[in-house]
Chains A and B, each alone.
Chain A
Amino acid sequence: LSDEASRPFAGLSDVSISEDIPVEGDISVPMGSSRRDDEFSTLDEPVKETILRDLRAVGNKFIHVLYPKRSSALLRDWDLWGPLLLCVTLALLLQGGSADSDDQGGPQFAEVFVIIWFGSIIITLNSKLLGGTISFFQSLCVLGYCIMPLTVAMAVCRIVLVGGSGPVSFGVRLVVVTASFGWSTFASTAFLADSQPANRKALVVYPVFLFYFVIGWMVLTFSPAQ
């Protein structure tokens, strides 16, 4: 090895900077990040503002379920408030039926809760195992929000049952529940099926169909206390 190789910076050893050349320049720090933080800092806003914002988001999603078109609002800003609200409402509405409480009457509150949440989790797992691109909580959010037509149907059924529980009332209830079941399945399919490859869409849609069918069955077979 030659001397040059062992001393690579040999030629620079006699370079010096004279002290009378001023060194000056500008250093600027980008202020954008702190400005963004200020925008999202919600610690100082009044509580009413916070609650209203979340309520508005939930309400927005309800409207998206009412008119299910391919939009990303449900998927992008998922939240689980809406599903929780709907689940509790549905479970409460399913109470108070069949006065023989020790007999196998209507579903208990916990049973409805378990069926809805456990069912949603299983369907989400199924969708992810089949290679879906939707995330876990997004799927829970969609499935929970699409229970809304069935909750509305339950409320309608209870009103109809006040009038009487004969065959006419049963016919009306059947029509209402079938329509809302179809609506729920269609709405959730519109969101979920897009995240699957084409040759597996039916495999993902069928469990959703079964899920809403069982919930619709619970709604339809609700018999009031006499």
Chain B
Amino acid sequence: MASANDPFQFQEFEEAASLLEADRDATTITIDDEDTKAEKQRIAAGFIPDGDDEDRLASDDKTELLSGQKKSAPFWTFEYYQQFFDIETHHVRERIIGSMVPWPRKNFIHVYLRRNPDLYGPFWICTTLVFAIAISGNISTFLGKLGKPNYKYTPEFGKVTIAATAIFSYAWLVPLALWGFLLWRNNKAMNLVTYSFMEIICVYGYSLAIYIPAVVLWILPYEWLRWCSIMVALCLSGSVLVMTFWPAVRDDHPKMIIATMSAIVVLNTLLAVGCKVYFFSKPETLIPVEHAPAAEVIKTTHAAATHST
């Protein structure tokens, strides 16, 4: 215990148990470290990672422990944002491919992000998509109206702003809503898998990557091709999103699961179809236009014929 002769000597306070030996009635407080508390919680809840993910998660935990804590600078400094750009070229490539190819047991966040969400991918994919939509829409309008004599080509730059607003709000507001929703459900039902806000943004950003080639395909003025490519892109990106968020909601009420999943898919669909309808005009065929004067002529001659008889 405390040494009486030197008041400045460092004192070690022993564990609560040994202190209690001296005085049974005293109250003691043990303050656990943050990590040990989380560890105890996990063991108590019986968290068992399933199937394929097990070895990946184990190595994931190990690398995290080995690499130490991520230093967190305050959010108004430059260094805070630099931690979200801590990726290399091949990481970005793998993540883009992973967002297009849904693998049954691979969860995008666990396999590709590995606790290193980045902002580079979502931001530049959204920007590329905005310009791809604007340029492709412009080209398709031009091609669609090529034959008409009274068509004057205008590069529609106002549409860039609209496209940017739509896509960036989808990429930032929907993850925000989803994150808030998952947080709220987490309080109700003890979900063991939680995703951070940055990870959700990352998933949504990369899931838009499949739409870039789809949008370029929409330049060709064939309706069936456009709808086919929408279906394919929707299936791929939708399934990646569904599989990513499945572990986060599977312990919840079945109605909540259905509601969440369908909301994710429906919003994705709305974005795709909305972009197609707004930016890409239906390819009008020239035949009705040519028939119209002919139809007029037929009608007037018919009217004249019936009138005369």
Using a CB–CB cutoff of 8 Å, the interface residues on chain A facing chain B are 98, 100, 103-107, 111, 126, 128-131, 199-203, 206-207, 210, 213-214, 217-218, 221-223, 226
B112 at the interface (CB under 8 A from A): no
A199→B89 contact, CB < 8 A: yes
Contacts known (A207-B124, A221-B138); A104 close to B131, Cβ less than 8 A: no
B157→A200 contact, CB < 8 A: no
Interface size on B, residues (CB 8 A): 25
Contacts known (A199-B89, A200-B88, A201-B89); A107 close to B157, Cβ less than 8 A: yes
What residues of B have a CB within 8 angstroms of the CB of A199 in the complex? 88-90
How near does chain A come to B145, taking the closest CB pair, in angstroms?
14
How near does chain A come to B122, taking the closest CB pair, in angstroms?
13
Q: A106-B157, A130-B85, A210-B128 are in contact. List 14 more A-B contacts (CB 8 A).
A: A104-B154, A105-B154, A106-B154, A107-B157, A129-B81, A129-B120, A131-B85, A199-B90, A203-B87, A210-B127, A218-B155, A218-B157, A221-B138, A223-B155
B155→A130 contact, CB < 8 A: no
Chain B residue at minimal CB-CB distance from A225: B152
What residues of B have a CB within 8 angstroms of the CB of A214 in the complex? 131
Chain B residue at minimal CB-CB distance from A220: B155
Contact with A along B88-106 (1 / 0, CB 8 A): 1110100000000000000
Chain B residue at minimal CB-CB distance from A103: B154
Contacts known (A129-B81, A130-B120); A223 close to B131, Cβ less than 8 A: no
Can you identify 6 A-B contacts, CB atoms within 8 angstroms? A107-B157, A200-B89, A203-B89, A210-B127, A218-B155, A223-B154
What residues of A have a CB within 8 angstroms of the CB of B88 in the complex? 199-200, 203
How near does chain A come to B73, taking the closest CB pair, in angstroms?
13
Of the candidates A100, A200, A203, A217, the one whose C-beta lies within 8 Å of that of B152 is: A100
Contact with A along B108-150 (1 / 0, CB 8 A): 0000000000001000100110010001001000000000000
B82 at the interface (CB under 8 A from A): yes
6 nearest interchain CB pairs?
A221-B155, A199-B88, A129-B85, A104-B156, A202-B89, A104-B158
Chain B residue at minimal CB-CB distance from A206: B124
Of the candidates B131, B138, B154, B158, the one whose C-beta lies within 8 Å of that of A100 is: B154
What residues of A have a CB within 8 angstroms of the CB of B82 in the complex? 129, 131
B226 at the interface (CB under 8 A from A): no
Contacts known (A199-B90, A201-B89, A202-B89); A106 close to B155, Cβ less than 8 A: yes
What residues of A have a CB within 8 angstroms of the CB of B87 in the complex? 200, 203
A210 to B135 alpha-carbon distance, docked (Å): 12
Q: A103, A107, A203, A222: which has the most chain B beta carbons within 10 Å?
A: A203
What residues of B have a CB within 8 angstroms of the CB of A202 in the complex? 89
What residues of A have a CB within 8 angstroms of the CB of B185 in the complex? none
B181 at the interface (CB under 8 A from A): no
Chain B residue at minimal CB-CB distance from A223: B153
A210→B131 contact, CB < 8 A: yes
B159 at the interface (CB under 8 A from A): yes
How near does chain A come to B243, taking the closest CB pair, in angstroms?
27
A105 to B154 alpha-carbon distance, docked (Å): 5
A226→B135 contact, CB < 8 A: no
Q: B85, B124, B128, B153: which has the most chain A beta carbons within 10 Å?
A: B85
A111 to B52 alpha-carbon distance, docked (Å): 51
Chain B residue at minimal CB-CB distance from A112: B157
A204 to B286 alpha-carbon distance, docked (Å): 46
What residues of A have a CB within 8 angstroms of the CB of B154 in the complex? 98, 100, 103-106, 223
How near does chain B come to A114, taking the closest CB pair, in angstroms?
11
Chain B residue at minimal CB-CB distance from A119: B127
Contacts known (A199-B90, A203-B92, A217-B135); A226 close to B120, Cβ less than 8 A: no
B120→A126 contact, CB < 8 A: yes
How near does chain B come to A23, taking the closest CB pair, in angstroms?
51
What residues of B have a CB within 8 angstroms of the CB of A126 in the complex? 85, 120, 124
A226 to B152 alpha-carbon distance, docked (Å): 10
Chain A residue at minimal CB-CB distance from B131: A214
What residues of A have a CB within 8 angstroms of the CB of B89 in the complex? 199-203
A131 to B120 alpha-carbon distance, docked (Å): 13
Chain B residue at minimal CB-CB distance from A222: B155
A213 to B134 alpha-carbon distance, docked (Å): 13
Chain A residue at minimal CB-CB distance from B93: A202
